[in-house]
Structure 1
């Protein structure tokens, strides 16, 4: 953990240090520079949850990485484990998730994953911190920006592959609480494709309602829905889908 990094990446109130617009741009550049200095490579997968500030953070981080000479591939809203998985399977240099997990919409943050899908180690975090406090310099070999239109489909297939091929959820009734977050589309698709009869709640994100009276931190609506639909079980996610 450094002055910039907490126990789970970088997080704060949007518009304030350490996640002001200026800071987020500089973090992208510092992270890209650190990856190159340490010889890690120059391809980053960049995902986010559904917070309204995610668009701002996404643009700023991407600009910072490009200025540092690092290529970025945008996935759009996807759960945190999906970014870790995609980073590893496409052999990217790093993965980045824009999220403040179970916090309200007015917070946001940045999580980093190494190429093997594990979180950045202390050496990488310290290198990013060092460059964060240096003047930005535009690389002579600018990075490129692309999108990953098949990112969600790739992760859905992976999730399904972890379920025994000889089993099915056919005949099971589930209530799925998506917390109006990163799992709002992906989780229902996975359970439906595995055969479950599902009832979905909190799956209409508007940028502001993430984790609002729903998700892992507030399960009253889930309990009520399970009883109402006489479901076999209820499943709740948090805003970035790592719980």
Structure 2
């Protein structure tokens, strides 16, 4: 990760950590960089945004920088991150930009850059952007006369994406009652249209964005509201999205949460039965629940584990050809259809399994026993030293041996804070707490804790 860009773009509080000047310079660099890559051809960039009040400010600033560098900019307006990725790769754009801070509160915002293949921008280009932001590059020339760029209304691109989602469904949703929590974010402009077109009886909540209510007590990070709503409305299933709709958490008819791990199992098992699960493998992150792996083992499904972040999941999928991957948090990637996590697409694929197998979501999800988990954050002086200490590692080995095949322990450094996360999954909470505290006690004894 760089100075400004993390695993999911440049993110921070609007006009504090991420300013209009940053956005302008990012636009200046991207317009120039992609213009240089395609001499004799005008650079074309597509921009989408979520519903935050500051998204308009950053959109205008990015447009100013891009057009000043000679790029033509096509505006999708309020839309989802996966729709930007889709439009880039199907409409021949040089790159795409999504203005969003995903599941963060309204006062944060972010800039996600997508390359010409619809993938998150490669690190080599991010490094160059950061060098330009820090004044470590020569100033980029301004476009003159007819070389100056322009803006184009491109709402049609978003509509084509909606059509694409509808085309993916294998069956009508007629007689299915489905609840959607749009998080007062990007899904508000798309999700209901898709489910209505497929014939569902659609119940929608949190689809009245006002610029200040995105993710506020709603969406995939506040699933308890959808759980209650699904039961009250008597729905067959519910789906909650985050601010930019690249993740999805489901709820079954009984009000139980079906998180990303269970979605990976449901879809992975179905795809294996259909013969469409390439190399019989699902890509997960190291934070997926131990119960998911036990269920995969039972079904004879292999799995890969990556670092936390859907970016790393996709990198693994691109390198191996695996076609299904994702995170517990609901970022699910179906590489046949998308190059990023796509919450609405995920909900359509879950509905496909429900309809094709003629089983309730509750029944499908019940096949995974989620193991109790305890995760504690430990503030330390030196993350690497704390994790690599001989006595800490010795204690981790002891816990691993004690858990055997009935649990696991994981130590992971925070990417942004001086914190080591200690996580244990086991058959009961008491065992989890005991072993987490044992490892933390050794860290304290060794003098690593603040």
Same fold (TM over 0.5): yes
Q: Which residue of 2 aligns with 1:79?
A: 80
Q: Which residue of 2 aligns with 1:125?
A: 126
For 2:116 and 2:201, the matched residues in 1 are separated by 36
Tell whether the 8 Å contact from 2:78 to 2:189 is kept in structure 1 after alignment: no
In structure 2, the CA distance between the partners of 1:28 and 1:179, relative to structure 1 (3 Å rule), is same
Q: Which residue of 2 aligns with 1:145?
A: 151
Q: Which residue of 1 aligns with 2:368?
A: none
Equivalent of 1:205 in 193, 209, 229: 209
Q: Show structure 2 runs of 5+ residues with no match.
A: 248-450
Q: Match of 2:246, SS?
A: coil
In angstroms, what is the RMSD of aligned CA positions?
A: 1.4
For 2:20 and 2:124, the matched residues in 1 are separated by 25
Report deviation, 1:22.
1.4
Q: Could you tell which deviates more after superposition, 144-153 or 90-99?
A: 144-153
Q: Which residue of 1 aligns with 2:199?
A: 195
Q: Match of 1:235, SS?
A: strand
Q: Match of 1:213, SS?
A: coil
Q: Which residue of 2 aligns with 1:90?
A: 91
Matched, 1:179 2:183: yes
Matched, 1:23 2:22: yes
Report deviation, 1:151.
2.3
Q: Which residue of 2 aligns with 1:7?
A: 7
In structure 2, the CA distance between the partners of 1:2 and 1:38, relative to structure 1 (3 Å rule), is farther
Equivalent of 1:221 in 210, 218, 225: 225
Report deviation, 1:136.
5.2
Per-residue CA shift, 1:32-87, capped at 9, x if unaligned?
22222344861000000000001100000000000111110001000100000001
Matched, 1:158 2:176: no
Q: Which residue of 2 aligns with 1:114?
A: 115
Higher helix share: 2
Q: Which residue of 2 aligns with 1:46?
A: 47
When normalised by structure 2's length, the TM-score is: 0.52
When normalised by structure 1's length, the TM-score is: 0.95
Number of residue pairs matched by the alignment: 240
Report deviation, 1:198.
0.8
Superposed structure 1 runs of 4+ greater than 6 Å apart: none
Q: Match of 2:164, SS?
A: helix
Tell whether the 8 Å contact from 1:34 to 1:131 is kept in structure 2 after alignment: no
Quick one: higher RCO (CA 8 Å, sep 6+), 1 or 2? 1
Matched, 1:34 2:33: yes
Tell whether the 8 Å contact from 2:178 to 2:238 is kept in structure 1 after alignment: yes
Report deviation, 1:131.
2.7
For 2:215 and 2:203, the matched residues in 1 are separated by 18
Q: Match of 2:30, SS?
A: helix
For 2:92 and 2:3, the matched residues in 1 are separated by 30
In structure 2, the CA distance between the partners of 1:46 and 1:63, relative to structure 1 (3 Å rule), is same
For 2:27 and 2:209, the matched residues in 1 are separated by 26
Report deviation, 1:30.
1.6
For 1:234 and 1:163, the matched residues in 2 are separated by 17
Q: Show structure 1 runs of 5+ residues with no match.
A: none
Tell whether the 8 Å contact from 2:32 to 2:140 is kept in structure 1 after alignment: no
Report deviation, 1:5.
1.2
